[in-house]
Amino acid sequence: MTRTTADVTFLRGYNQALVMAVGRTARTFERSTVVGATGLTPQAVSKVIARLTADGLIRPAGVRRPGIGKPAVVYELVPDSRYAIGAHVARRTLRLVLVDLAGTVHHSAVSPLPGDFTPEQLLDALRSGIDAIPGIDDLRGRLTGVGIGMIGPLDHAHGLVRDAHGLRHWHDVPLREIAEAHLGLPVHLDKDVTAGITAEAWRHGGTFGDAVLIMVESGIGGGFWLRGTAHRGAHTNAGEFGHTVVELDGPLCVCGRHGCLEIVHNRAAEAGDIERAARVLAIGVVNLLQTLDLAHVVLAGADLLRHAQPYLAAVEEAVHSDVPRADWLSTDVRLSSLGADVIAAGAAMQVLDKHFGLPDLAPL
């Protein structure tokens, strides 16, 4: 096989992504930090650092003078050099956030969506919501794109919403394409839960792997981060965790099956029995742990966070007492570190990852 210019471009982009990943993880870094973390040669790192500095993505932040040897230039990421907008499309609401290159959320606003909203209504809400972000006009030149985390089932690879449960106007809608045309910005479309677990991976860094983000918000979904990367599955539809059956001959679910985790949970929640709803969710979580052997469980979603303590307690209890050999199969359970912003923020981080990082990989 002969090397082509495409390989060189890829390699350059890859090396750049490695350096950006270090910059995002460490507050400050030197050339030698990057060499140690990435295995790139000092010469290659110097070239990438020069290019990123010229692009304004990183900047010198002083000089370190070691006892012996030459002084070393210290660099840092320039957080306000680039931004991305993240959108969380739920059945009743649209949440928009503005996230900088370092992953800090600068603005967050939630607005109601019309009942059974159409694609056109969502596009209008996206545009007016983006226009309403304070200072947005000054940021236009530094906007990388818009990430949309949406309820599924959806096809991430082709940017299609297949059949959003409970929304009649969303059958095979090419949302990525029509949103790009409507907004005039690159758009990244993913399942809400996959966007959410990306945000958690950004915040936890390289040690974060084999994790799930469980979201309870109208429906129930699970976003997976396996072996240090987002897991979407063969058709990019992984995560329909709420539609796994926990009760044979149980109530009819919105997906057409009977006794799904989601409908059994929702019935309990609607009856005001949060303790039982939390217990149903916890059983589902244990099923997941038994299947995938996960190290981290992150709990999120508006309906769950409204009763955060009972849910956290039920899942922790089940993880410790229902998993055989829980002494050995230890799992960390926690609430999302970004609260209600986690999906939108993760969608924005996916856009930044795509342009300036290693897509779907945790920081080094």
Distance CA 170, CA 321 (A): 41
Q: Which of the ranges 4-12, 122-130, 186-194, 241-249 carries the binding residues for Zn ion, by CB under 5 A? A: 241-249
Using rule CB under 5 A, residue 305 touches Zn ion = no
Which of 52, 253, 333, 344 binds Zn ion (CB under 5 A)? It is: 253
Helix 342-356 with 5-25: angle, nearest 10 deg: 140
State the nearest-atom distance from the C-beta of 284 to Zn ion, in Å: 12
**Minimum CB distance to Zn ion, residue 167 (Å):** 15
The answer to the question of residue 165 lying near Zn ion (CB under 5 A) is no
Of the pair 47, 257, the CB lying nearest Zn ion is at 257
Residue 292 sits in the site that holds Zn ion (CB under 5 A)? no
Closer residue to Zn ion in complex, CB, 143/264? 264
CA distance 161 to 40: 40
- Rounded least distance, CB 27 to Zn ion, Å: 45
Interface residue with Zn ion among 156, 191, 243, 296 (CB under 5 A) is: 243
Segment lying near Zn ion (by CB under 5 A), choices 73-81, 240-248, 278-286, 311-319: 240-248
Output the smallest distance, CB 267 to Zn ion, in A.
12
Nearer to Zn ion, 35 or 255 (CB): 255
Q: Using DSSP bridges, classify how beta strands 219-226 and 229-231 pair: parallel, antiparallel or unpaired.
A: antiparallel
Nearest distance in Å: CB 291, Zn ion: 18
Span of 70-78, 237-245, 326-334, 346-354 interacting with Zn ion by CB under 5 A: 237-245
Question: What is the nearest approach in angstroms of Zn ion to the Cβ of residue 253?
Answer: 3
Listed ranges 6-14, 71-79, 242-250, 337-345: which one lies at the site for Zn ion (CB under 5 A)? 242-250
246 touches Zn ion (CB under 5 A) = no
For position 220 contacting Zn ion by CB under 5 A, the verdict is no
Least distance from Zn ion to the Cβ atom of residue 299, Å: 20
- Which of 66, 256 has the CB closer to Zn ion? 256
Pick between residue 34 and residue 260 the one whose CB is nearest to Zn ion.
260
- Asked if 260 is part of the footprint of Zn ion (rule: CB under 5 A), the reply reads yes
Q: How far is the CB of 278 from Zn ion (least distance, A)?
A: 19
For residue 248, give Cα distances in angstroms to 253, 254, 261, 291.
12, 16, 11, 19
Closest distance of CB 219 from Zn ion, Å: 9
SS3 for the chain is CCCCHHHHHHHHHHHHHHHHHHHHHCCCECHHHHHHHHCCCHHHHHHHHHHHHHCCCEEEEEEECCCCCCCEEEEEECHHHCEEEEEEECCCEEEEEEEECCCCEEEEEEEECCCCCCHHHHHHHHHHHHHCCCCHHHHHHHEEEEEEEECCCEECCCCEEEECCCCCCCEEECHHHHHHHHHCCCEEEEEHHHHHHHHHHHHHHHHCCCEEEEEEECEEEEEEEECCEEECCCCCCCCCHHHCECCCCCCECCCCCECEHHHHHHHHHHCCCHHHHHHHHHHHHHHHHHHHCCCEEEEECHHHHCCHHHHHHHHHHHHHHCCCCCCCCCCEEEECCCHHHHHHHHHHHHHHHHHHCCCCECCC
Binding segment toward Zn ion, per CB under 5 A, in 174-182, 187-195, 215-223, 257-265: 257-265
Chosen residue from 73, 246, 255, 295 binding Zn ion by CB under 5 A:
255
Nearer to Zn ion, 126 or 260 (CB): 260
Interface positions with Zn ion (CB under 5 A) = 243, 253, 255, 257, 260
